[in-house]
């Protein structure tokens, strides 16, 4: 099938590559010309089975690039993977703002307008971008040509494993309002994955996407609440508690995101909770649970700050990407922790070899209180300066002579 992609960022590019690898004729466009190439990306991304780097896939891919007019003329189905951003205050790396905002749909509407200006025949356009319920109805359809057959088809991917998650999803979410478009999209997905297609209205699919993301945030808040309880309860170990809960597959769902550690992060989950909090106020809902989740996220991060401040030593955060094994910092809970420390007047030493691309010998530093902000496997080999305190929310580092290790979630009393 002839497929078009508009948007070649951290989501669009690996997914366009994955579709091309499945034998489809893919042409892609981005408003930033420098992104229209097969050069390795500066962020970490693995192949469909966890392989890295992606260079071999890029080299043998038939992925092509062209203008938006070329892509529209080429594609039987066009995926739109452009950003729907929040401002930096809504990324979860600073204190929670008092006001709430919807996502910024200007880029998405602009993409629809450009496609509409170029389209000559009926074309299926699948919107991937995260939006709130009612967005297609209120913002996209008024800007779309009648020749566009719109559907909402967001992906459930994580940065660093986008290709694998796209090709091996739990399910395919398809929001569609006409049977012909549904048939075409379902046929396409039979060539990409064996996962079931979950079909519903566009409005329902918009809600399902943000509900999925915010549910993950809820699980993480709950797990971190258990971690704090265990940290303050003699004889309790949070990993024992969460390991037991993970075995309750019939009633408590799956085990992912149910480990005590740092707060939820990334480019989707914190901002989606904040956007849903805005929606809760707009409707209005009887209670804004999303506000509760983000407040809990912030206060749990502040509790880790309190653990650091119990020691009269300079403060350091080791690992400030938003999760293990990746070099992206968007929505990083470690950066929220840094902001709270700076708010209290501390100057914070930051180090992340994945983000910075360099290695440092921490043992040559003066003693610090170190907090492990991201569970990078590389940190197992770190040597900390004697006299330091290491606060480990992940409970995975081995003890070292002359260094005090605090495994968060295991009471030391």
pLDDT in tens, 290-312: 999 999 999 999 999 999 999 99
pLDDT for res 389: 98
Judge whether 413 lies within some domain.
no
Are 32 and 113 members of one domain?
yes
| Distance, CA of 19 to CA of 4 (rounded, Å) | 10
pLDDT band at 278 (very low <50, low <70, confident <90, very high): very high
Read off the tokens for 406: 């605090």
Are 218 and 187 members of one domain?
no
Last residue of a domain, one of 178, 200, 222: 200
**Which percentage of the chain shows pLDDT scores above 90?**
87
pLDDT score of 133 more than 90: yes
Cβ count near 388 (within 10 Å):
23
Cβ count near 72 (within 10 Å):
26
pLDDT band at 46 (very low <50, low <70, confident <90, very high): confident
Are 16 and 64 members of one domain?
yes
Cβ count near 257 (within 10 Å):
18
pLDDT for res 54: 77
| Distance, CA of 330 to CA of 93 (rounded, Å) | 8
**Alpha helix (H) residue ranges in 61-178:** 68-74, 106-118, 135, 162-167
**CA–centroid distance for 304 within its chain:** 22
| Distance, CA of 112 to CA of 347 (rounded, Å) | 45
Range with lowest mean pLDDT among 50-59, 110-119, 146-155, 399-408: 50-59
pLDDT for res 47: 86
- The model's pLDDT over 89-129, given as tens digits with 9 standing for 90+, comes to 888 999 989 999 999 999 999 999 999 999 999 999 999 99
**Which percentage of the chain shows pLDDT scores above 70?**
100
C-beta separation of 126 from 80 below 8 A: yes
pLDDT for res 252: 81
pLDDT score of 166 more than 90: yes
**CA–centroid distance for 166 within its chain:** 14
Judge whether 144 lies within some domain.
yes
Are 20 and 167 members of one domain?
yes
pLDDT score of 53 more than 80: no
Range with lowest mean pLDDT among 5-19, 42-56, 60-74, 250-264: 42-56
- If you average pLDDT over every residue of the chain, what do you get? 95
Are 61 and 156 members of one domain?
yes
How many domains does the chain fold into?
2
Host H or E run for residue 26:
strand 25-29
Last residue of a domain, one of 200, 225, 260: 200
Strands 172-176 and 148-152: antiparallel
Are 251 and 392 members of one domain?
yes
C-beta separation of 372 from 379 below 8 A: yes
pLDDT for res 142: 97
Closest CA to 103 of 263, 179, 248, 213: 213
Average pLDDT over residues 355-375: 97
Please give the residue that has the higher pLDDT: either 160 or 355.
355
Are 180 and 229 members of one domain?
no
- In the chain, DSSP finds a helix count (H) and a strand count (E) of 13, 13
| Distance, CA of 264 to CA of 60 (rounded, Å) | 36
Strands (E) across 236-384 are located at 315-318, 348-351, 369-372
Closest CA to 374 of 42, 44, 15: 44
pLDDT for res 253: 80
Are 47 and 178 members of one domain?
yes
pLDDT for res 322: 96
What residue numbers bound the domain in which 13 lies? 2-200
Max CA distance (Å), the chain: 72
- The model's pLDDT over 69-79, given as tens digits with 9 standing for 90+, comes to 999 999 999 99
Average pLDDT over residues 247-256: 87
Judge whether 205 lies within some domain.
no
Last residue of a domain, one of 181, 200, 219: 200
Residue 143, classified by CB atoms within 10 Å of its CB into exposed (0-12), middle (13-18) or buried (19+), is middle
Match 């497929």 to its residue by tokens: 3
Residue 80 half-sphere exposure toward CB, CA atoms < 13 A: 32
pLDDT score of 45 more than 90: no
pLDDT for res 382: 97
pLDDT band at 34 (very low <50, low <70, confident <90, very high): very high
CATH number of domain containing 343: 3.40.50.720
pLDDT band at 56 (very low <50, low <70, confident <90, very high): confident
pLDDT score of 87 more than 90: no
């Amino acid at each position: 099938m002839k497929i078009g992609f508009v948007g070649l960022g951290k989501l669009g590019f690996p997914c366009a590559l994955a579709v091309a690898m499945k034998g489809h004729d893919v042409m892609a466009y981005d408003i930033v010309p420098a992104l229209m190439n097969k050069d390795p990306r500066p962020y970490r991304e693995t192949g469909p089975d966890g392989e890295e780097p992606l260079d071999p896939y890029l080299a043998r891919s038939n992925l092509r690039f062209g203008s938006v007019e070329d892509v529209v003329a080429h594609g039987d189905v066009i995926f739109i993977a452009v950003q729907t951003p929040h401002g930096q205050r809504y990324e979860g790396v600073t204190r929670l703002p008092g006001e709430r905002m919807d996502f910024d749909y200007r880029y998405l509407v602009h993409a629809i307008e450009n496609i509409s200006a170029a389209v000559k025949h009926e074309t299926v356009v699948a919107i991937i971008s995260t939006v709130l319920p009612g967005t297609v109805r209120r913002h996209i359809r008024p800007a779309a040509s009648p020749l566009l057959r719109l559907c909402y088809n967001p992906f459930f991917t994580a940065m660093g494993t986008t290709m694998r998650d796209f090709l091996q999803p739990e399910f395919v979410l398809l929001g569609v309002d006409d049977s012909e478009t549904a048939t075409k999209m379902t046929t396409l997905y039979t060539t990409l994955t064996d996962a079931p297609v979950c079909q519903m209205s566009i409005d329902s699919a918009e809600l399902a996407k943000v509900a999925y993301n915010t549910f993950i945030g809820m699980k993480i808040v709950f797990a971190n609440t258990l971690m704090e309880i265990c940290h303050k309860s003699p004889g309790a170990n949070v990993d024992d508690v969460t390991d037991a809960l993970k075995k309750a597959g019939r009633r408590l769902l799956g085990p992912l995101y149910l480990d005590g550690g740092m707060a939820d992060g990334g480019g989707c989950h914190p901002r989606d909770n904040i956007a849903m909090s805005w929606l809760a106020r707009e409707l209005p809902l009887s209670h804004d649970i999303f506000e509760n989740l983000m407040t809990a996220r912030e206060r749990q991060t502040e509790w880790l700050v309190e653990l650091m401040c119990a020691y009269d030593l300079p403060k350091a955060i080791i690992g400030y990407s938003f999760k293990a094994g990746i070099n992206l910092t968007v929505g990083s809970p470690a950066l929220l922790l840094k902001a709270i420390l700076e708010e209290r007047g501390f100057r914070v030493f930051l180090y992340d070899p994945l983000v910075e691309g360099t290695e440092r010998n921490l043992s040559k530093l003066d003693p610090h209180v170190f907090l492990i902000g991201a569970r990078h496997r590389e940190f197992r080999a770190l040597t900390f300066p004697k006299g330091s305190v290491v606060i480990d929310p992940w409970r995975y580092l081995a003890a070292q002579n002359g260094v005090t290790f605090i495994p968060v979630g295991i009471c030391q009393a």
